[in-house]
Amino acid sequence: MTEQRRRAPVGSAALRDLIEELAESLRRSVALAGPSVRRICASRHFDDADPARVHSLLHGQASSEVTRHVLDHGVTRWSGPGFVESRDDLGLLPRYCVPLRQRGHFLGLLMVIAPDRSLAPEETEAIARATPAIAGQMYADHILADAEKSREQELLLSLLGPSPTARAESRHQLLDDGLLPDAPHAVVSLVQVACSRVSPGQAATALRGALEGLRRTRSAHGAFTVTANRAVLLQLADRPLTPEALREQSRHIMEALGTRLDASAAPVIGIGGHQTGLADARTSYEQALVAVRAAHRIPGLRGIGSWEELGELAVLLQLPDRALNESLLPKPLRALLESSGGHRLEATLRCFLDQAGSTSRTAEALRIHRTSLHYRLRQIQEITGLDLDNGADRITLHMGLRIRELLVSPGASGDDGRHQAQAATPGDDLVGRMLAADPQGRRGASVRPGRQLQPQRTRARRDQAGQSVTAGDHSRIEAA
């Protein structure tokens, strides 16, 4: 999906004209980037174009390594122009960078390629003369884009919100205004970052930068809304987006966030199931809430949960945090876990049940002799008091093991901050909170408990170690 992005020009025509005019006067390649160093527009090539610039023009953005290199110079905090050093391994020549601000807002960077890391006085003067007009045009474009995005985001929040009446009205307005098509397939993804060590402004900027390229791809039309540490992305397509494409897209988002934020941000993504167009987008959103909670709790998912891969875990994950504790474990399973050699017997039982009770496949998977397997199975039956040939007893143990995967282990979250990102629980409607937290007070929305959804019968990827990370209680969403 990364390669399928449209290379549509961005930035207003007036802004592109100003950049071209400056480049012509300097006879140097010039580019304009936003706050997250995402390219807005670039002049035509001159003889100084380097591989990093060519990559940016071909792919619509700089590589993550180049972006990180530029940000590591602290350019967003510069009070005046300066040079970004070259990196031969990245194919990057030195850049003369001018931070652009208007009315206290950091708008982005004006970058001029300077291969010998120097500019003549008349060149720096020409850049200084051009800067106010460029910054002014960027600010005007910013205000216009904000107005358009605000309306789009307001409609998107209502479309995914709890009120059926508001959803229907928003759907009609989105279609009438041509903001989104009513394509037959809709998928919602929810992205969250930890807020303990990342400022809300920094997180929101990073989320916007990571999702901006997904507004329109060859595969789908998209729209998104961002709060301080969460983003909701809706995509509509004529054909279903494949699980592989959605995972690749999620990995790209994770990579983009990793470029803009440090490891303490610990991003997680939940992907909802495919639903029928705008009318059912709310259902995919509710499923994404469950999937993002799975991404928090199951390390084996590596930060990306998908509703369509959760199986019976989707039902368990709709229990509130206070209910997901060891009291849910069946007593026979607790007895097994507390017994001598419990870890080995647990692994044996898990494999046996996953292999549908086939001793031959279980012995092969565990790489042990069948005699050893039968001995362990007898131990399990003696300790639990259950019969592994009985279907109901098997369900009791299997469900207990699945619940165990989701249990919060004290201290398991470590210091990476992931527990601070806080996944959603039933009734904790993030969209409803966004609506209720509207700073203009234009609308309020009561938060109603989410519907209990029936998962598709596919299996989640399981963490073999059976460990889990801590997901704490929810903090209130603040409107961005």
400-434 pLDDT, tens per residue?
888 888 874 433 333 333 333 344 444 455 565 55
Higher pLDDT, 11 or 251: 251
**pLDDT score of 145:** 66
Does residue 359 have a pLDDT over 60?
yes
Cα 381 from chain centroid (whole Å): 44
Alpha carbon separation from 410 to 54, 339, 419 (Å, rounded): 49, 21, 11
If you ran DSSP here, which 8-state letter would residue 213 be given? G
If you ran DSSP here, which 8-state letter would residue 14 be given? H
**pLDDT score of 194:** 83
Does residue 343 have a pLDDT over 80?
yes
Banded pLDDT at 280 (limits 50, 70, 90): very high
Token pair for residue 158? 């209502």
If you ran DSSP here, which 8-state letter would residue 77 be given? G
pLDDT (tens digit per residue) in 151-190: 788 889 999 999 999 999 999 999 988 888 889 999 999 9
Please state the rounded mean pLDDT for residues 217-240: 90
Beta-strand ranges (E) seen in 148-303 are 185-192, 221-226, 230-237, 268-271, 275-276
Which amino acid makes up residue 398? H
Please state the rounded mean pLDDT for residues 76-97: 93
Token pair for residue 257? 């966030």
Residue 187 neighbours by CB distance under 10 Å: 27
Residue 420 neighbours by CB distance under 10 Å: 22
Interior/surface letters 329-353, b for 16+ CB within 10 angstroms, e for the rest: bbebbbebbebeebeebbebbbbbb
Contact 407, 326 (CB under 8 A): yes
- The structure tokens 């259902």 sit at 283
The angle, 0 to 180 degrees and rounded to 10, between the axes of the packed helices 64-72 and 243-260 is 20
Which amino acid makes up residue 344? R
Q: Over the chain, what is the mean pLDDT?
A: 80
CA-based nearest residue to 135, from 162, 103, 166, 113: 103
Question: How far apart are the C-alpha atoms of 447 and 435, rounded to whole Å?
Answer: 10
Does residue 436 have a pLDDT over 90?
no
Banded pLDDT at 297 (limits 50, 70, 90): confident
Beta-strand ranges (E) seen in 92-194 are 95-102, 105-113, 185-192
Question: How far apart are the C-alpha atoms of 219 and 108, rounded to whole Å?
Answer: 29
Question: How far apart are the C-alpha atoms of 312 and 406, rounded to whole Å?
Answer: 12
Does residue 462 have a pLDDT over 50?
no
Banded pLDDT at 212 (limits 50, 70, 90): confident
- Mean pLDDT is lowest, of 76-90, 247-261, 419-433, 447-461, for 447-461
Question: How far apart are the C-alpha atoms of 204 and 187, rounded to whole Å?
Answer: 22
Q: Phi and psi of 166, rounded to 5°?
A: -65, -35
- For residue 274, the number of C-alpha atoms closer than 13 Å in the C-beta half-sphere is 13
Nearby residues of 24 by Cβ (< 8 Å), 6 or more positions away: 43
- The structure tokens 């090539």 sit at 45
| Host H or E run for residue 440 | none
Alpha carbon separation from 161 to 91, 170, 226, 280, 451 (Å, rounded): 46, 10, 15, 11, 12
Does residue 198 have a pLDDT over 90?
no
pLDDT (tens digit per residue) in 16-67: 999 999 999 999 999 999 888 888 889 988 888 889 998 888 877 788 889 8
Burial class (CB in 10 A: 0-12, 13-18, 19+), 218: exposed
CA quadruple 243, 315, 289, 471: dihedral, nearest 10: -110
Token pair for residue 44? 């035509």
Which of helix, strand or coil describes residue 102? strand
Burial class (CB in 10 A: 0-12, 13-18, 19+), 111: buried
Nearby residues of 283 by Cβ (< 8 Å), 6 or more positions away: 272, 273, 275, 451, 453
With vertex at residue 30, the alpha carbon angle to CA 25 and CA 35, rounded to the nearest 5 degrees, is 135
Higher pLDDT, 428 or 461: 428
**pLDDT score of 429:** 56
Cα 382 from chain centroid (whole Å): 46
**pLDDT score of 460:** 40
Share of the chain above pLDDT 90, in %: 43
CA-based nearest residue to 191, from 430, 479, 462, 464: 430
**pLDDT score of 21:** 94
Q: Give the predicted TM-score (pTM) of the model.
A: 0.60
Question: How far apart are the C-alpha atoms of 209 and 153, rounded to whole Å?
Answer: 16
Question: How far apart are the C-alpha atoms of 125 and 122, rounded to whole Å?
Answer: 5
Token pair for residue 65? 């390594």
Which of helix, strand or coil describes residue 78? coil
Higher pLDDT, 457 or 306: 306
